[in-house]
Amino acid sequence: MKKILLISLFVLSGIGAHSQVLITLLFGDKLNTPDLEFGLEGGGNWSKISGLETNSFEPNWNLGFYFDFRIKNQWFFYTGVLVKASLGVNKLTTADLNLLDATVYFEKGDYAQKMNYFLVPALIKYRFKNRIYLEGGLQFGLMYKSWIEYVTDIDGREGIIKEFNKDQINKIDVGAMGGAGYRFSGRLTSWSLGVKYYYGFVNVYKDISGTKNSSIFLKLNIPIGAGEKAKANNVEKAAAKKEKKAAKAAEKEAKKNNKE
**Interval 137-175: pLDDT, tens:** 999 999 999 999 999 887 777 889 999 999 999 999 999
Q: How confident is the model at residue 253 (pLDDT cuts 50, 70, 90)?
A: low
Rounded distance, CA 185 to CA 129, Å?
Answer: 11
Helix (H) or strand (E) holding 257: helix 226-259
* Residues 54-81, mean pLDDT to the nearest whole number: 95
Instruction: Look at 102-111, 171-180, 234-243 and tell me which has the smallest mean pLDDT.
Output: 234-243
Mean pLDDT within 235-250 = 64
* Cβ proximity of 188 and 226 under 8 Å: yes
Quick one: how far is CA 218 from the chain centroid? 9
pLDDT digits (tens, 9 = 90+) for 89-106: 999 999 999 999 999 987
50 DSSP assignment: T
Structural domains in the chain?
Answer: 2-224 (2.40.160.20)
Q: What pTM did the predictor assign?
A: 0.77
Which residue from 143, 151, 150, 149 is spatially nearest to 167, judged by alpha carbons?
143
Q: What phi, psi does 136 have (nearest 5°)?
A: -160, 155
- Between the ranges 58-67, 232-241, 250-259, where is the mean pLDDT highest? 58-67
End-to-end CA distance of the chain: 56
